[in-house]
Chain A
């Protein structure tokens, strides 16, 4: 028994995810980063193994597993290839949670099996040029027209948009009511009036394309409304709460990898007549990194465990995401420091980790938004 949070199934899922990451992802990760392309056949392979349907109910082709299974997979996959985790987090949380949480059985039947099979991709469109952390201030509009809605607006930084079959779009159906006038729509990317704009050139996690989603008089039927009209914001917030634990888990994996690289490098690199790790200043840095990682693990595993036991854990998920992201950025930064000049070279994996981790304190709720959620729960 390695950990009180996990059972035999969790451990065997972790083991197979680690095996897959070592054998299939590690050899391609540098190339994925360099070419900004993740091979779709590998995404399909992840689907066949079950990674894309971990949290999706069994009746829609998924495995119906718990949050901790998802944590184990995200952690192990992130060690070797951050881009690969985007396929997993997208399929298990951002692109499907809105449907799993509030979709009709027909919508679940229509959208979920394709995602589980790795054959269809759904992007999550909440952020806008002027509505990031303050998501409720979004200005994309949906105007009712008979049985249809006409959508107009622009979403930005939308992960996977250029390759997506659908995008989940949050739009104002009642602009007067602020957060209580937002509705969630499923928009087919092939509809007239939908376009993507240019691809963002990103610092890290480069294997998946990110772009705007531009909506110009896009007509969607009322069947495309996910959940109730005007109640989309609650759906978005619930989705993000699931996503936070996913991002936190990937931070754990990347930080663990950085520590492993630091240990190996400082054992082998000799300066001043002995291996770096034999210098106490260096050894103490390693101790701090390891301690911080394990503190983060405690928060993340606890949040996942609470969710699996049906306990409302918004604050715990935010604390996990906040602490794990900040800790991982610090740990990876220190690992790069310990690599010296080598760490600054693209030939070394730590350089990629340093770029890949940076967005983790920004997306799916910045660290500051997590602080708002945490303090909000304390002060209500």
Chain B
């Protein structure tokens, strides 16, 4: 079993503020973290490895050199190897270009690590919130995909994935090789142990730069290979939160609702 986990370094949006004049993110002094959904994808892979200690987990990220910090975090938590994909011509890529570069990186990494049975991604990154890169990678690679996964286990020559639906959960079977994107399950990712954390500090993380992909179509990468253009960013007006009525049974709920509505002179 060979799993690739795709991760991204993102600004910690719980600490982020928006410039009220320019409508852009103020990134100064905001800590960078592992995208939380990618953490769930890594944990899902780690749970497969718990049952099959021979399984191998490889982490990859595309980003500037300082993005190795999240790869070290992946190594500390559960990954066996990590690769950084970084190059000047990759800069400015939108989701389509990013997923194209990452799919090329998958092939490149497979030359060293062997074929991946499954590629796990977070459902989306908390900075761009597009939820496109995982599904687009599946399309570039021609693999089946399951999105919004909560947990996954090996089932014969594929995975059994429990996925989140709007009104419940669904169990899906998917054959290797496949792409699964993960959302927040009921648990948090495991803590790294001190031993793994220190080993991660010393780990060598190979960089795949833009010179290492001679077969890559350069019109499909970077800013000029990106069809997405941001027309305008703005801060949506804040809506005040509604009231949630959650009582032991429907009757008390209805009574509470009646009290609220009549109290506000609506009925």
Residues of A within 8 A of B (CB): 8-9, 12-13, 16, 19-20, 23, 48-51, 54, 63, 65, 69
Contact = CB atoms under 8 A, between A and B. Distances in A.
Nearest to A65: B194
Given A12-B76, A13-B198, A16-B197, 11 more contacts: A8-B201, A16-B191, A19-B191, A23-B188, A49-B191, A49-B193, A50-B193, A51-B194, A54-B194, A63-B194, A69-B194
A63 B191 contact: no
A80 to B, nearest CB: 14
Contacts of B76: 12, 16
A280 B42 CA distance: 50
Contact-residue bracket for chain B: 10 to 19
B229 interface: no
B238 interface: no
Interface of B: 76, 188, 191-195, 197-198, 201
A65 B195 CA distance: 10
Contacts of A9: 198, 201
A21 to B, nearest CB: 11
A69 B191 CA distance: 17
Contacts of A65: 194
Contacts of A51: 194
A48 B201 contact: no
A8 B193 CA distance: 16
Nearest to A50: B194
Given A9-B201, A12-B201, A50 B195 contact: yes
A54 B197 CA distance: 13
Contacts of B198: 9, 12-13
B194 A20 contact: no
A16 B197 CA distance: 9
Contacts of B201: 8-9, 12
A63 B195 contact: yes
Contacts, number: 32
Query: Chain A interface secondary structure, helix, strand, loop or mixed?
Result: helix
A112 B174 CA distance: 47
A20 B197 contact: no
Contacts of A12: 76, 197-198, 201
28 contacts: A8-B201, A9-B198, A9-B201, A12-B76, A12-B197, A12-B198, A12-B201, A13-B194, A13-B198, A16-B76, A16-B191, A16-B192, A16-B194, A19-B191, A20-B191, A48-B193, A49-B192, A49-B193, A49-B194, A50-B193, A50-B194, A50-B195, A51-B194, A54-B194, A63-B194, A63-B195, A65-B194, A69-B194
A110 to B, nearest CB: 23
The 9 residue pairs across chains A and B that have the minimum distance between CB atoms? A50-B194, A49-B193, A12-B197, A50-B193, A9-B198, A8-B201, A49-B191, A20-B191, A16-B197
Nearest to A12: B197
Contacts of A19: 191
Contacts of B195: 50, 63
A57 B188 CA distance: 31
A13 B197 contact: yes
A362 B198 CA distance: 35
A23 B192 CA distance: 13
B211 to A, nearest CB: 30
B34 to A, nearest CB: 12
Nearest to B196: A50
A48 B190 CA distance: 11
A161 B192 CA distance: 31
Nearest to A9: B198
Q: Which of B76, B188, B194 has the most CB of A within 10 A?
A: B194
A376 B191 CA distance: 45
Contacts of A49: 191-194
A155 B44 CA distance: 50
Nearest to B192: A16
A17 to B, nearest CB: 9
Nearest to A11: B201
A48 B50 CA distance: 15
A49 B263 CA distance: 53
A13 B200 CA distance: 12
A23 B188 CA distance: 10
A66 to B, nearest CB: 12
Contacts of A20: 191
Contacts of B188: 23
Nearest to A23: B188
Contacts of A23: 188
Nearest to B197: A12
Contacts of A63: 194-195
Q: Which of A13, A16, A19, A20 has the most CB of B within 10 A?
A: A16
A65 B188 CA distance: 28
Contacts of A50: 193-195
B26 to A, nearest CB: 21
Nearest to A48: B193
Nearest to A8: B201
A59 B191 CA distance: 24
B18 to A, nearest CB: 22
